[in-house]
Amino acid sequence: MRRLHLDPAEFAGDEGSEVRLVGARARRLREVVRIRAGATLSVFDGSGGEREARVTQLTGSGVTLTLGGSLPAAPEPPVRIVIACAFPKASRGDWLVEKATEIGVAQLVPLETDRSVMHAGEGRFARWQRIAVEAAEQCGRALIPLVGGEPPAEALHIVGDPDTTVTIREAIEAQPSLPEAIVLHIGPEGGWTQAELDAFDARGALRCSMGPRLMRVETAALIAAAQLLELTGGLAPAR
């Protein structure tokens, strides 16, 4: 079933109410998806809600949807995984957002570190959020990860550090119980400064190895996030 993200206000209408789409969303449905009147869609609000909708009118200026009943949404990981990293330049950051959305990451926080090579402005944040929306439409998630903001206040913090031998598995298995959220900190390609590592230590963060190979930021972030999702049940098949 084709999927489309709606704004929460559009999504919240009563069953049988209409939503009028214009602009880029309408053009995409008409010209890219080539949708026809009578076709059924799955629409979602980005916060976990999903419902059925039907195309009831197609015109040159827009597309009209009639909202239907609720649909079961794909389950989210039981532990929220947040990637906080010094984003790489150009399309590599776009790729990180897309793939993190697909595997189930709950939030991405671009960091400004002492050795950051990319300093994102508002336009870049908006682009990354659009990429997250499109990735959620494609992969079947009803929740769209937030790009930006602050990490959860109550969380276990794990820091990628090539100078330690402690693995992510060892760090998670040593916990008395699973936390509600885990924030994964990945440094820039030039590495963390000693002052940054000292600050993590003062906050009680756990330093962990990302493995024996030297990886790019986006590779290390996704591999480590996938490990955390696997260890906390986030990649388990839906039941």
> For residue 239, what pLDDT is reported?
57
Q: 99, 220 in Cβ contact below 8 A?
A: no
Q: 85, 157 in Cβ contact below 8 A?
A: no
Phi, psi values for residue 105, rounded to 5°: -65, 140
Q: 64, 39 in Cβ contact below 8 A?
A: no
Q: 126, 175 in Cβ contact below 8 A?
A: no
> For residue 92, what pLDDT is reported?
93
> For residue 177, what pLDDT is reported?
95
> For residue 61, what pLDDT is reported?
85
pLDDT along the chain (239 residues), means of 10: 90 95 90 90 96 93 94 95 92 96 97 85 88 95 95 94 94 95 95 95 95 91 96 81
Q: What SS3 state is found at 191?
A: coil
> For residue 94, what pLDDT is reported?
95
> For residue 120, what pLDDT is reported?
75
Domains located in the chain, CATH noted: 2-70 (2.40.240.20), 80-231 (3.40.1280.10)
